[in-house]
């Protein structure tokens, strides 16, 4: 399921194909199948979609939050629902890790989805990890279809982790302060390529970020930040206050479009890690060309984003685990 828009990036494309082959091999221990629930509970996916659509209708920002929840789950020991677990006397979970605390949200929506799915299925047959993966897809798919891009089939059949690790989350989830080399290395450690990095970062076409995540860029990176954007943001994000104040990650935070990449071309990337994808300089990196391509080809971005989400969703670590009744605690 390598990208259908690799065009001239032959090396990136070869790596992408190899990476997906590795993930497919790794998943043999726990086969994933988009039709996993077709017989055991055909009502499962419609039940998930209904709750997601209701939640996003009440709060449009929730779509971006559910997408981010899936990303942060998958980057810590695979897509196993570990991010949903509350702390216990036996472990400190991922919710209070630096990349997640006061930032990752949507846990109450996942609770509502799980209750709805259990009711629709007449029992506990759908894992919380699968709920998160499908909810992420459903939170953006209506916009993708509206703009002419495809939906995508979510691989299903994940098991839920019985433990979570704050330390693993702190180590594994890429930080908004990372430089390009660190980002590429982080994605490679999960079997994902530089193209996956650029495409999945395009998820920042939706949603907002807290001031605490971009304050350093706002005051210390003036050479790579558009002056008008800096002036606009310094009011709601002063040097010593307003940590939780929000700013949009691109100019159209409710539309799944190419605005994110256009912002990078104008030095208006909100996060340091965003602008690093277009570092420029005398020896431009492969990510520079990818940013320019997706800025000019939003349909290719939407196609490749769907492909990359499937690859990321294939990150699993084995066949153990359980199907939790309550996504917040081990059964």
CA distance 258 to 63: 17
Q: Is residue 140 part of a domain?
A: no
Q: Is residue 242 part of a domain?
A: yes
What residues are paired with 91 via a beta bridge?
Answer: 88
Q: Is residue 128 part of a domain?
A: no
Q: Is residue 216 part of a domain?
A: yes
Mean of pLDDT values over 37-53: 96
Q: Is residue 44 part of a domain?
A: no
264, 187, 257: which is closest to 12 by C-alpha?
187
Question: pLDDT tens for residues 59-71?
Answer: 888 989 999 999 9
- Is 90 exceeded by the pLDDT of residue 115? yes
- Is 60 exceeded by the pLDDT of residue 327? yes
Mean of pLDDT values over 76-96: 95
Cα-based distances in Å from 19 to 13, 26, 71, 223, 291: 10, 11, 18, 36, 21
- Is 90 exceeded by the pLDDT of residue 30? no
Q: Is residue 76 part of a domain?
A: no
Which two tokens mark 238? 């002063």
69, 196, 62: which is closest to 128 by C-alpha?
69
Beta 208-210 vs 246-248: how paired, if at all? antiparallel
Q: What is the pLDDT of residue 146?
A: 56
Q: Is residue 91 part of a domain?
A: no
Range of the structural domain that residue 234 is part of: 203-299
Q: What is the pLDDT of residue 83?
A: 98
The pLDDT-based confidence of 257 (bands split at 50, 70, 90) is: confident
- Is residue 85 within 8 A of residue 96, CB to CB? The reply is no
Q: Where are the alpha helices (DSSP H) in the chain?
A: 10-26, 44-58, 62-74, 107-121, 128-146, 166-172, 180-189, 194-201, 211-220, 227-234, 259-265, 272-275, 286-296, 298-313
CA distance 322 to 330: 8
Q: Kindly state the percentage of the chain with pLDDT values over 90.
A: 75
Mean of pLDDT values over 243-270: 93
- Is 70 exceeded by the pLDDT of residue 252? yes
Q: What is the pLDDT of residue 33?
A: 95
Q: Is residue 27 part of a domain?
A: no
- Is 90 exceeded by the pLDDT of residue 151? no
The pLDDT-based confidence of 254 (bands split at 50, 70, 90) is: confident
Distance of CA 137 to the CA centre of its chain: 10
- Is 70 exceeded by the pLDDT of residue 50? yes
Mean of pLDDT values over 310-331: 90
CA distance 269 to 243: 19
Mean of pLDDT values over 116-141: 95
CA distance 24 to 290: 25
- Is 90 exceeded by the pLDDT of residue 285? no
For the chain, the domain total comes to: 1
The pLDDT-based confidence of 319 (bands split at 50, 70, 90) is: low
CA distance 169 to 113: 24
Highest mean pLDDT (candidates 12-21, 235-244, 313-322): 235-244
Q: What is the pLDDT of residue 149?
A: 54
- Is residue 306 within 8 A of residue 152, CB to CB? The reply is yes
Question: Which residues are catalytically annotated?
Answer: 72
Q: What is the pLDDT of residue 45?
A: 97
Any idea what the CATH number is for the domain that residue 224 is in? 1.10.420.10
- Is 90 exceeded by the pLDDT of residue 318? no
**Assign residue 91 a region: left if phi > 0, alpha if psi is -120 to 50, beta otherwise?**
beta
Considering only 272-276, 278-282, 300-304, which range has the smallest mean pLDDT?
Answer: 278-282
Q: How many CA atoms lie within 13 A of 94 on its CB side?
A: 33
């Amino acid at each position: 399921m390598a990208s259908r828009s690799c065009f001239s990036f032959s090396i990136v494309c070869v790596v992408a194909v190899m990476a997906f082959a590795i993930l497919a091999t790794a998943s043999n221990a726990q086969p994933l199948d988009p039709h996993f629930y077709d017989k055991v509970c055909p009502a499962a996916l419609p039940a998930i979609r209904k709750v997601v659509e209701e939640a996003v209708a009440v709060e449009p920002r929730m779509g971006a939050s559910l997408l981010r929840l899936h990303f942060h789950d998958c980057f810590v020991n695979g897509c196993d629902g570990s991010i949903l677990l509350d702390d216990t006397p036996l472990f400190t979970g991922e919710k209070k890790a630096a990349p997640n605390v006061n930032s990752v949200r949507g846990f109450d929506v996942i609770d509502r989805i799980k209750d709805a799915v259990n009711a629709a299925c007449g029992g506990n047959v759908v894992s919380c990890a699968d709920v998160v993966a499908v909810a992420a897809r459903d939170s953006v798919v209506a916009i993708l279809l509206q703009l002419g891009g495809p939906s995508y089939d979510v691989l299903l059949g994940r098991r839920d982790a019985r433990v979570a690790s704050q330390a693993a989350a702190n180590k594994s989830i890429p930080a908004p302060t990372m430089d390009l080399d660190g980002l590429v290395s982080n994605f490679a450690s999960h079997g994902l390529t530089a193209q996956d990095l650029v495409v999945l970062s395009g998820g920042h076409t939706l949603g907002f970020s807290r001031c605490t995540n971009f304050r350093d860029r706002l005051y210390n990176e003036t050479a790579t930040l558009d002056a008008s954007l800096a002036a606009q943001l310094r009011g709601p994000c002063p040097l010593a206050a307003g940590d939780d104040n929000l700013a949009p990650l691109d100019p159209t935070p409710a539309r799944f479009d190419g605005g994110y990449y256009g912002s990078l071309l104008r030095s208006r990337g909100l996060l340091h890690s965003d602008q690093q994808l277009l570092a420029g300089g005398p020896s431009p990196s492969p990510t520079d060309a990818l940013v320019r391509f997706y800025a000019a080809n939003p349909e290719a971005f939407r196609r490749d984003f769907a492909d990359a989400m499937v690859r990321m969703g294939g990150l699993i670590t084995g066949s153990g685990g359980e199907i939790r009744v309550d996504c917040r605690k081990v059964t």
